[in-house]
């Protein structure tokens, strides 16, 4: 195996690890966001786990975070809870930073 092949393999491995980290971090972020939103929506008990699943599922609709923001914002609107887009985005960034830190500390 040449050094080029070794570098190529290392790059592929790093890409796969980064993609895995991104997926795990976003999944944890979405869970935390859903739990935060559930508290504001008055959702409790077993219904919180169902809401977490619904938010995670919404994240699969399209690339990026707009689908998650749209889902949570609609749920707030349906319940008459006033939360700005900026507050939702700030919470998403806060929860993502915590998720990444948690994943990195566990490694």
- The answer on pLDDT for 24 being more than 80 is yes
Q: What would the two tokens of residue 79 be?
A: 């319940």
* pLDDT for 17 beyond 90: no
Q: Write down the pLDDT at residue 76.
A: 98
- Residue whose tokens read 């809870």: 81
Percent of the chain with pLDDT over 90: 70
Structure tokens at 32: 């935390």
Mean pLDDT of 57-61: 89
The pTM assigned to this predicted structure is 0.84
Q: How many other CB atoms are found less than 10 A from the CB of residue 74? A: 11
Both tokens of 67, joined, read: 């689908």
Q: Both ends of the chain: CA-CA distance in Å? A: 30
Domains: count for the chain: 1
List Cβ neighbours of 104 (8 Å cut-off, separation of 6 or more): none
Number of continuous H segments (helices) and E segments (strands) in the chain:
4, 0
What is the per-residue pLDDT across 66-94, written as a single tens digit (0 to 9) for each?
999 999 999 999 999 999 999 999 999 99
State the CB neighbour count (10 A cutoff) for residue 30.
Answer: 25
User: For residues 96 and 29, is the Cβ–Cβ distance under 8 A?
Assistant: yes
The domain of 12 spans 3-106
Q: Which CATH number fits the domain that encloses residue 50?
A: 1.10.790.20
Q: What distance in Å separates the CA atoms of residue 15 and residue 9, rounded to the nearest whole number?
A: 10
């Amino acid at each position: 195996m040449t050094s080029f092949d070794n570098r190529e393999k290392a790059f592929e491995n790093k890409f796969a690890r980064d993609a895995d980290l991104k997926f795990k971090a976003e999944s944890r972020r979405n869970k935390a966001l859903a739990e935060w939103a559930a508290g504001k929506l008055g959702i409790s008990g077993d219904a919180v786990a169902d809401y977490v699943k619904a938010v995670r599922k919404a994240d699969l609709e399209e690339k990026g975070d707009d689908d998650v923001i749209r889902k949570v914002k609609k749920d707030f609107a349906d319940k008459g809870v006033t939360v700005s887009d900026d507050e939702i985005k700030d919470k998403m960034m806060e929860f993502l930073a915590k998720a990444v830190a948690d994943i990195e500390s566990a490694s």
